């Protein structure tokens, strides 16, 4: 099944659902095969079964449903996302990322607006607190823009002077630079990612990406994702 729906995230980013294999019925039938049973269409009995599987932690049937996404996000989001994937004990995860060893497309960078800078939290070494005063935010937005411009100029100069792309990229500011990748994962793995990254204490930027993934998954697996992922109430 091909799907082209895309959700924009942050200033330049997006999540695009590329392919889907399976449905809620796939989950139910994967569980019923133990008894040599199969449903032709999703019934109330199948829905009760899916709820039972999720409630009791019988997760293997959810690994028979697969989704593929294209993601464009700042490197700081990508590396946090990737750290989750390599640390996951779930099967059916694949990750392929664009490389500036081979491409020299004009780089894009995530630059928070003046009212988007956040303070350090009072009681934790990670995460963020309340918004910073907008005047201070303006100073740091301008400083970041100047920093990015300097890096871009040095990058272009290195390419112009014949330096290879895989070394010229050293001049590009890293953490805010957008990167593009394909992520293919089982429904179980995606649900685990969503529960981790939609949590209130997750970094705000990756929360926004996780919410986009969630919105793209829901129409295809409304029962399963509703049981596997519990949205936090405000």
Residue scoring higher pLDDT (126 or 202): 202
Residues contacting residue 57 through CB under 8 Å, at least 6 positions apart: none
Same domain, 17 and 84: yes
Catalytic residue among 16, 32, 100, 197: 197
pLDDT digit string (tens) for 133-146? 999 999 999 999 99
pLDDT of residue 194: 93
Q: Is the pLDDT of residue 187 over 70?
A: yes
* Calpha distance 171→168 (Å, rounded): 6
pLDDT digit string (tens) for 46-100? 999 999 999 999 989 999 999 999 999 999 999 888 876 665 555 557 777 776 6
Count Cα neighbours of 27 within 13 Å in the Cβ-side half-sphere. 32
pLDDT digit string (tens) for 20-48? 999 999 999 999 887 777 889 999 999 99
Domain span including residue 164: 111-175
Q: Give the residues across from 9 on adjacent strands.
A: 13
pTM: 0.84
* Calpha distance 196→79 (Å, rounded): 15
146 lies in a domain? yes
55 lies in a domain? yes
Whole-number Cα distances in Å, 147 to 74, 111, 140, 153, 154 = 16, 11, 10, 10, 11
106 lies in a domain? no
Q: Give the residues across from 177 on adjacent strands.
A: 109
Q: CATH number of the domain that 75 lies in?
A: 3.30.1360.170
Q: Is 177:108 a contact under the CB 8 Å cutoff?
A: yes
* Calpha distance 120→101 (Å, rounded): 35
Q: What is the mean pLDDT of the chain?
A: 87
Q: How many domains does the chain have?
A: 2
Which position has the token pair 């963020």?
Answer: 128
Residue 197 appears among annotated catalytic residues? yes
């Amino acid at each position: 099944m091909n799907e082209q729906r895309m959700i924009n995230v942050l200033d330049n980013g997006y999540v695009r659902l590329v392919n889907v294999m399976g449905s809620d019925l796939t989950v139910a039938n994967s569980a019923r095969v133990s008894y040599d049973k199969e449903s032709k269409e999703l019934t109330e009995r199948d829905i009760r079964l899916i709820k039972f599987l999720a409630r009791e932690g019988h997760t293997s049937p959810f690994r028979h449903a697969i989704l593929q996404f294209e993601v464009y996000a700042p490197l700081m989001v990508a590396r946090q996302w990737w750290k989750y994937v390599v640390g996951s004990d779930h099967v059916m995860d694949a990750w392929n990322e664009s490389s500036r060893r081979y491409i020299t497309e004009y780089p894009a960078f995530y630059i928070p607006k003046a009212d988007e800078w956040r303070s350090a939290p009072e009681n934790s070494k990670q995460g963020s607190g309340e918004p910073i005063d907008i005047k201070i935010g303006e100073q740091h937005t301008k400083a970041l823009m100047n920093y990015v411009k300097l890096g871009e100029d040095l990058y272009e100069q290195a390419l112009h002077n014949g330096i290879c792309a895989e070394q010229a990229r050293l001049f590009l500011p890293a953490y805010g630079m957008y990167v593009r990748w394909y992520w293919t994962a089982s429904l179980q793995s995606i649900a685990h990612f969503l529960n981790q990254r939609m949590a209130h204490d997750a970094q705000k930027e990756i929360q926004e990406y996780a919410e986009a993934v969630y919105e793209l998954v829901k129409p295809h697996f409304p029962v399963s994702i509703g049981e596997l992922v519990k949205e936090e109430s405000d």
